[in-house]
Structure 1
């Protein structure tokens, strides 16, 4: 039986406690049914790959910060997008960096979207609504296809 988008988790990879709280609050305001998993650095994010290989539910989308300790977000993106099975998981880069080199490299590594975090909470809520609408409702994935 294929999982639906509503019960697949969302993986949030964020090291900054303030940004983590802001993102969780914004996502909660959307009344998502999806469980939210968190990784507080790139190393924790990469550890999820092993969990998915062992049968843990893979996320419907990964929200990935770039500027993190231990392993940066671009390395995490590279690991996920080079995996033969998990490369199809949509990855939304959600970061404070608007540097052209970061944007370019993220897309070259396979990012599905690149969003610069707004500072204002109300604008951040708008971003959360758009992420929710696009990734859970509008976007079609191979999990949505009945065979």
Structure 2
């Protein structure tokens, strides 16, 4: 692949893509939504509040032949419990395990910086782990970094369903 075709792939990551956000706290949802819309204005943000609705969304989009399958999943670890967040992560990974398509990257986030939370998230398949900040400016920096890495630098999986 030439560098110009690689650049085109990364442009496709950024423009008019869907990101699935799984967050049950309305205050955090507000901050995340605002920061994402400011940093990555061309995305289509799908908001869900729990594992069940997130998996239903994925299944529904898969059945529609993937027109709005997310390129990235942002998952809160505590939904409201740690166990529920880890079950959601395992659910996403098993959803794609039985299909011939690559898994969608999952960025786990939480206010917790506990070693067990970080290690367990990676053990169950998270692609990244971010510690939440109560500061809006910090959220903007998170999502600028997310945009730079996940949407402008790497080539995300293409799904052909």
Q: TM-score, normalised by structure 2?
A: 0.80
Unmatched runs of 5 consecutive residues or more in structure 2: 1-8
- Whose helix fraction is larger, Structure 1's or Structure 2's? 2
Unmatched runs of 5 consecutive residues or more in structure 1: none
Distance 2:102 2:48 in 1: 18
Question: Which of the two has higher C-alpha Rg?
Answer: 2
Task: Look up the match of 1:32.
Answer: 41
Whether 1:73 and 2:85 are equivalent positions in the alignment is: yes
Distance 2:150 2:129 in 1: 13
Q: TM-score, normalised by structure 1?
A: 0.87
RMSD: 2.1
Contact 2:150–2:156 under 8 Å retained in 1: no
- CA shift, 1:31, in A, is 4.1
Distance 1:107 1:124 in 2: 22
Whether 1:129 and 2:141 are equivalent positions in the alignment is: no
Whose relative contact order is higher, 1 or 2, with alpha carbons under 8 Å and at least 6 apart?
2
Structure 1: which 4+ aligned runs deviate by more than 3 Å?
A: none
Q: How many residues align?
A: 142
